[in-house]
Amino acid sequence: MKSYYSEKLSATNLKRVYDIAPLRVNQYLEAELNHVVQKIHPCDLVLELGCGYGRLLPAFANKAKYVLGVDVSFSV
């Protein structure tokens, strides 16, 4: 039996939601990301729990020494 996460909240489904998000939602998400990235220093180790398909990881990796994303959903 498939779990709720693999059926409804999979990384693939989540990516689709972000891909079709309206401009205002994307502006909010970008502002949220910028706020977090400003708090990261070059010597930091970043752990993102529930990273989905890794949408935020590249921005974190550009600022931190080491980045690790963990999620229960399957992503290709």
Cβ(64)–Cβ(40) under 8 Å? yes
**Which segments of 1-76 does DSSP mark as H helices, in order?**
4-8, 11-19, 23-38, 57-61
Low-confidence ranges of the chain (pLDDT < 70): 1-2, 5-7, 73-76
pLDDT at 1: 47
Task: Count CB neighbours of 73 within 10 A.
Answer: 18
Stated pTM of the model: 0.78
How far is it, in rounded angstroms, from Cα 42 to Cα 24?
Answer: 30
Residue 55 neighbours by CB under 8 Å, 6+ apart: 15, 18
How far is it, in rounded angstroms, from Cα 39 to Cα 35?
Answer: 7
pLDDT at 61: 97
